[in-house]
Amino acid sequence: KMNSFVSAAKFISNTIRSSNKNGSAVTRGIISSLARSTKNISAMKSRLPTSVIIRANFSTSGSDIMSHFVAKGSDLEGNSIEEAMHSLANADAVCFDVDSTVINEEGIDVLADSLGKGEEVAAWTVKAMEGDTKFEDALAARLDIIKPSRASILKCLDDHPLVLSPGVDRLVEVLMQNGTHVFLVSGGFRIMIEPVAKSLGISKSNIVANTIFFDEDSATGEYSGFCRDEPTSADMGKPKAVQMLKDEHGYENVVMVGDGATDAQAKPPANAFVGFGGVAVREAVRGKACWYVRDFEDMIEVVEKFGKRM
């Protein structure tokens, strides 16, 4: 940060002067260089807009962020709210679950309903989200029940466009303005998530989700299986996905946001897990969340008021 650099330069310069009163050519050179750097940076700061200078200041502590919300009477819930708020404000990346978080329903249940298999599939979805069965078993069972063709999925999306949860579009917007990378990390299907990502301005390359295989020789693209190599196709897939993103991009601070047991598994390696109960409240998830929210308003405020601002 520029303020910190200026202070450090002055401190070092003064220290060298006091400990080398007679000075040598080297000492005088160091002092001169530091003085020039300090003067140049100070001049740069004088030409910068106030908003940019403010953004260069050191990040607000988690306790100070939390105090802001306590003072305004916010109803806060979670195991380590300060940590989660600070991580969100300074996140390199935020990973969102999609079903019952970014959108206000479970995509696979919507698809199953459109194919007349809703109740049967919904029962497996609840098991998967509550953590009562391994995710890979629930995924395989649901796909075996519905066997969706490409044509049937596209018709479903046409007839029943997936609806965003209130406020998520604004949260994604302020995160991006803050210089935070946004990913959709889902146990759902890429073919159904891509339109959601597009509506939020999120690149296809920032989707980690399951890939359905279709028979390209059939007129309607009949279902022929799914890719079991995707990290989110199996239990403990979301921690694998988060670690993959950290390794690939060098992120130090990643936040996971979601409603299900598989999302709670993401911490660690995620630095914080924000549980979302705006669509469905799952007690097992609520108990594991660093911060548990029922809408996105406070998260938006954390980023807008306390974000790192690139």
Active site residues: 97, 99
Can you name the residues that pair with 181 across neighbouring β-strands?
93
